[in-house]
């Protein structure tokens, strides 16, 4: 039975991953910045999967928090086989010249500095034990995509690929693996929060997102199956491949979807 630790797993993709690992008979450690939220999610999951769920609050920008999360997982389940660095954030889409310095510092601290700290702490432990997989999560920009308003987020995700490539060389010759998860475009609060849902920009963007996007419930089972099958460093589990995206555009005229109706309704109610 594998033990899986997932950062940023109280909602969205992270929680979806947690639930699917539990369905695959794994032991799962939940984490997020808010201790009360972590406790609530653990309680909810524990009802369905007794004895296989634990949790601890963790700010990935604090090395002591990451170490405490590792220690809690190891103390509870006796091993850490898979560690997924899912925690991340986005900021409102707008030109770089209009972004606040505080927001720029925060997104870099979380998506890049936090990524480096989490990898440093976890890899040190895994290398000491000569065992374990670490998975880092791609996002828009990882493969060189660019778009107006996405400079801060895309830059942090572009850096992730350099981190993975270099770390894979550092763990060569060991039994530790560094791998990549690529969920594609998943409908979450993180994605929708980038946009003003009443704007013309959103109406144009939504058409593309409805073609290429998918729900957490669709994507996360695929990702979990890929993680559990991976057996070597450098593995990449990708949901939205180039071929799949091309096929989506070819069939878009026959497959009308609205993945954002609920979000738009909520936005209208709060306006």
Q: Do residues 154 and 112 lie in contact, with contact meaning Cβ atoms separated by under 8 Å?
A: no
d(CA 165, CA 178) in angstroms, rounded, equals 9
| Backbone torsions φ then ψ of 3, nearest 5 degrees | -105, 125
Residue among 14, 58, 188 nearest 22 (CA)? 14
What is the DSSP secondary structure assignment for residue 98, as one 8-state letter? G
What is the DSSP secondary structure assignment for residue 9, as one 8-state letter? -
Residue among 197, 195, 114 nearest 160 (CA)? 114
Residues near 242 by Cβ (< 8 Å), separated by ≥ 6? Answer: none
Catalytic residue of the set 74, 153, 162, 263 = 153
d(CA 219, CA 192) in angstroms, rounded, equals 17
d(CA 180, CA 235) in angstroms, rounded, equals 6
153 is catalytic: yes
Residue with tokens 């070819």: 250
Residues near 234 by Cβ (< 8 Å), separated by ≥ 6? Answer: 168, 177, 178, 179
Active-site residue list:
153
């Amino acid at each position: 039975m594998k033990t899986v630790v997932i950062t940023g797993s109280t909602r969205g993709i992270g929680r979806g991953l947690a639930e699917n690992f539990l369905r695959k008979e794994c032991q799962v450690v939940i984490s997020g910045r808010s201790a009360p939220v972590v406790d609530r999610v653990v309680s909810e999951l524990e009802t369905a999967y007794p004895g296989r769920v634990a949790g601890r609050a963790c700010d990935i920008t604090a090395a002591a928090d990451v170490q405490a999360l590792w220690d809690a997982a190891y103390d509870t389940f006796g091993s850490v086989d898979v560690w997924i660095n899912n925690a991340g954030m986005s900021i409102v889409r707008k030109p770089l010249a209009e972004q606040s310095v505080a927001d720029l510092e925060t997104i870099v601290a979380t998506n890049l500095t936090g990524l480096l700290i989490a990898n440093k702490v976890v890899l040190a432990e895994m290398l000491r034990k000569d065992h374990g997989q670490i998975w880092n999560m791609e996002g828009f920009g990882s493969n060189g995509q660019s778009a107006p308003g996405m400079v801060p987020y895309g830059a942090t995700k572009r850096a992730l690929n350099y981190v993975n490539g270099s770390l894979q060389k550092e763990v060569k010759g060991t039994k530790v693996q560094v791998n990549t998860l690529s969920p594609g475009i998943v409908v979450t609060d993180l994605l929708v929060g980038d946009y003003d849902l009443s704007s013309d920009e959103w109406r144009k963007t939504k058409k593309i997102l409805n073609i290429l996007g998918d729900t957490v419930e669709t994507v996360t089972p695929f990702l979990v199956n890929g993680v559990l099958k991976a057996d070597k460093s450098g593995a990449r589990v990708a949901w939205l491949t180039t071929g799949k995206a091309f096929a989506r555009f070819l069939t878009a005229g026959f497959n009308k979807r609205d993945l954002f109706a609920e979000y738009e309704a909520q936005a209208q109610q709060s306006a």
